[in-house]
Amino acid sequence: KNQVEQSPQSLIILEGKNCTLQCNYTVSPFSNLRWYKQDTGRGPVSLTIMTFSENTKSNGRYTATLDADTKQSSLHITASQLSDSASYICVVSPDNNDMRFGAGTRLTVKP
């Protein structure tokens, strides 16, 4: 069983709408959690990184939250744009050298 579970597996929304992606993890110990955006055929690009003591981090229209007690994170996208269509991958690190990847949520934004 993957230690990082993401939901939904895929999501289709209309341009301009908001959406929230979920990440639940069992990785322990915990060092940090990242959200990456991966466009089709490209490598992942980091959006946010949060440590144990942080419970929210924003990057433009992207806002990530972290509840380290329940081991849950979410990525909220506001006022979606066509260019937001991508896979969003949650990555949890137990230490500075190890990254555990979720399978990703495939987001499609339609006009």
Partner 1 sequence: DTGVSQDPRHKITKRGQNVTFRCDPISEHNRLYWYRQTLGQGPEFLTYFQNEAQLEKSRLLSDRFSAERPKGSFSTLEIQRTEQGDSAMYLCASSQTEAYNEQFFGPGTRLTVL
The whole-angstrom separation of Cα 64 and Cα 75 is 4
- Residues whose CB falls within 8 Å of the CB of residue 38, separated by 6 or more in sequence, listed in order: 44, 45, 86, 87, 88, 89, 104
Q: Which stretch binds partner 1 (CB under 8 A): 16-24, 26-34, 65-73, 78-86?
A: 26-34
Of residues 68 through 87, those in contact with partner 1 by CB under 8 A are none
What amino acid occupies position 111?
A: P
Q: Which stretch binds partner 1 (CB under 8 A): 55-63, 64-72, 74-82, 100-108?
A: 100-108
Taking a C-beta distance cutoff of 8 angstroms, is the pair 90, 25 a contact?
yes
Site membership for partner 1, residue 49 (CB under 8 A): yes
Site membership for partner 1, residue 99 (CB under 8 A): yes
Taking a C-beta distance cutoff of 8 angstroms, is the pair 74, 18 a contact?
no
Q: Under the rule (CB under 8 A), what is the footprint of partner 1?
A: 4, 9, 31-32, 34, 36, 41-46, 49, 51, 89, 91, 93, 96-97, 99, 101-104, 106
